[in-house]
Amino acid sequence: MAVPTTSTTRTTTTGRAYKLEEADTPQRGVVATVASAAYRVGEMTITQVTPIAVGIKDLTFTTARLAKGVLDRYPLLKAFVYTLTATSAVPIATFVGFLAVTLAVCLSVAGTGVVLVQGGFTVVAGFVLFWFLAGAFVLTCIATFWLTAGYVAYQGAKAIDRASSQ
């Protein structure tokens, strides 16, 4: 037996029209109302989140352009940042991997106490990470020192070459 329905057309906040079928029985009317409310919530979420995402994207690109400009202007700073990034990549990846594995283990064993246990693991792993990053910083300083020495020697050789050719 077919249930008689009434059809109404509604418009979302973005201007799209959709058809809502409302049944004459209370159960189908509830389902239609819930579906309509879910659709409106989805549309409202999209219209609210999009400007925030665009703002974050613009801020990210502006910051990246500014950082690139500064690094292009100062080659020794660029060498320092690249060397620090390269020497820190493995310890940070290990740290993130360790946190992911410990979080998975904690969540699979028990849901209670996850925050405390994960916090303890994070503190211990953060302490270990600190020493790896301190070592990376020392290595970066050493590498930057030698890069600076090479740069100064290169500039001196260029000056001597220019002076001898004149």
Residues 2 and 139: their CA atoms lie apart, in Å, by 78
> pLDDT for 7-29, tens place per residue?
566 665 556 665 555 554 555 66
Q: What is the pTM of this model?
A: 0.45
The answer to whether 22 and 6 are in contact (CB under 8 A) is: yes
- pLDDT in the model for residue 3: 46
> pLDDT for 97-119, tens place per residue?
999 999 888 877 777 677 788 88
DSSP 10-32: EE-TTS-EEEEEEESSHHHHHHH
